[in-house]
Amino acid sequence: MTSAMSPSERRLQKELMSLIKDPPPGVSVDAEQAEQNLLQWTIHMEGATGTLYEGESFQLQFKFSNKYPFDSPEVTFVGSNIPVHPHVYSNGHICLSILTDDWSPALSVQAVCLSIVSMLSSCREKQQPPDNAFYVKTCNKNPKKTKWWYHDDSV
């Protein structure tokens, strides 16, 4: 075991514990993987009942830098099922303001998960973002390097 943990690891350790003990509905974390490497988590998410995504399940990948929680986590959808949603690109990148400009250290993995569930749930029509093809071809691998323009609060 490492003897000294950085403050970001300590905080992640706490978040992991509370996410294991008391996860939001439909959200579960791969605890063993996260324990191996606190800086990268995989989270399973189920589409909320009564929404367009009911019955679907998704995987989210969280990557944390050693500046967490002052620096936002890098969050993308991964795996075989990427939700079709106006704010989710087919490469898994998510256009969500709290993941970049509006991030605050008072937010958490749990808060981000809730935001994403809610973003999916308020969707009225499954549609890819209008610029999906172009963005996917030209974007950086890291969604945080994209200069997002947040304009649509309805979904």
| Catalytic residue status for 139 | no
Q: Does residue number 13 form part of the binding site for other proteins (CB under 8 A)?
A: yes
Stretch near other proteins under the rule CB under 8 A, chosen from 9-17, 41-49, 78-86, 89-97: 9-17
Residue that has been written with the tokens 């999916």 in this structure: 120
State the Cα angle at 101 between 51 and 84, rounded to 5°: 30
Q: Which of 24, 49, 70, 142 binds other proteins (CB under 8 A)?
A: 70
Contact status, residue 94 vs residue 116, Cβ threshold 8 Å: yes
Catalytic residue among 95, 113, 123, 139: 95
The enclosing H or E element of 29 equals strand 27-29
Q: Which of 42, 61, 71, 139 binds other proteins (CB under 8 A)?
A: 71
The residue (of 11 and 63) whose beta carbon lies closer to other proteins is 11
Does residue 25 have a cis bond before it (omega within 30 degrees)?
no
Q: Does residue number 106 form part of the binding site for other proteins (CB under 8 A)?
A: yes
